[in-house]
Structure 1
Amino acid sequence: MIDFKTAPQAIFALRVTTGLLFLVHGLIKLFVFTPAGTAGYFESLGLPGALSYLTMLVEIAGGIALILGVKARFVSAALVPMLLGAAVFGHGSFGFNWSNPNGGWEYPVMWAVVQAAIAALGDGAYALVPSGKTAGRVHYA
């Protein structure tokens, strides 16, 4: 049973929380690890260094878009492949548990599932630019 009165606020809370976390992750890569350091890390994984700049941009811009509710369904759907890539390339060899040295793959996979859920659920309450014609409407099955 879905509580249609509180579901939009619950989606809003999930959207803003994950948006803040994406924003912080991107800003840490930018200001703490630095773009050059992040690129070096990506290269150490066998990935192109340029992919690190795209990752920082997606995390920062995607985080802001989720916080504000700008096309959140589309942003969340776009974040899923990036998160699955992080699970495979960045953390896959370190095992399941995130508390393992260098982290495990379960945390980015959980993030990917959460983003897929937001993409399926919709924008939630207080979306600045809703995703599509049916955004903000409650549909009863």
Structure 2
Amino acid sequence: MRDGDNCFPNGSNLSPLSRIIVTPALSYILWQTFTHPERQTMIDSRTAPYAALVLRLALGILFLAHAGLKIFVFTPAGTAGFFASLGLPGWFAYVTILWELAGAVALILGIWPRLAAITVIPILLGAIFTVHGAAGFFFNNPNGGWEFPAFWIVGLIVLALTGDGALALRPTFGRK
């Protein structure tokens, strides 16, 4: 095929089926977009606070579960020993556990959730750079890869950008 040649005998670069489906669909989308400017937003303002609530609760529960893992399964002393094996001070394990618990409670109850979302990101960055990063990307690798903590970070950033969500006890920037 040379430059300028059309793919199909009808003189078009679109297949006949594509011309039947794509052209009208694209025309309809463009018509809806430009004749109804109120529909240009991709966020449904009626359901967005509930979506943020679900995300906030899910992230808070994950932090609560991981703090619980460090307290009840690994034990605080065991977690401190693990931190020491990584070259970190053992006392930093206790700070991390408290930080995870505080972040979990703030996210679940909706106490300054946008701020809480941003302030727990360093915990996950620490997990990536000290443990999970060397294990590769996939979390099912031995020692868990950095896939899951990175996805958590994305969720926290989305929550911080989206807003506090419904039923926040103390919204970050006050009620509107």
TM, length-normalised to structure 1: 0.92
Pick from 58, 62, 66 the counterpart of residue 103 of structure 2: 62
Find out whether 1:116 has 2:147 as its counterpart. no
Query: What displacement does 1:26 show?
Result: 0.3
Tell me the number of residue pairs that the alignment of Structure 1 and Structure 2 aligns. Answer: 135
Pick from 60, 66, 71 the counterpart of residue 30 of structure 1: 71
Query: What displacement does 1:90 show?
Result: 1.8
Q: Which amino acid aligns with 1:105?
A: W
Q: Which amino acid aligns with 2:87?
A: G
Query: What displacement does 1:32 show?
Result: 1.1
Contact 1:80 1:113 in 2 (8 A): no
- Once residues 61 and 29 of structure 1 are traced to their aligned partners in structure 2, the CA distance between those partners, rounded to angstroms, is 14
Runs of 4+ more than 6 Å apart:
none
Query: What displacement does 1:86 show?
Result: 0.8
Report SS of the residue matched to 1:91: helix
Q: Which amino acid aligns with 1:130?
A: P
Query: What displacement does 1:65 show?
Result: 1.0
CA RMSD of aligned residues (A): 1.0
Q: Which amino acid aligns with 2:169?
A: L
Larger Rg: 2
Q: Which amino acid aligns with 1:30?
A: I
Structure 2 residue ranges without an equivalent (≥5): 1-41
Q: Which amino acid aligns with 1:35?
A: P
Structure 1 residue ranges without an equivalent (≥5): none
Report SS of the residue matched to 1:26: helix
Residue equivalent to 1:53? 94
Contact 1:69 1:130 in 2 (8 A): yes
1:1-141 aligned within 5 A:
1-133=42-174, 135=175, 137=176
| Percent of residue pairs bearing the same amino acid type | 53
Residue equivalent to 2:13? none
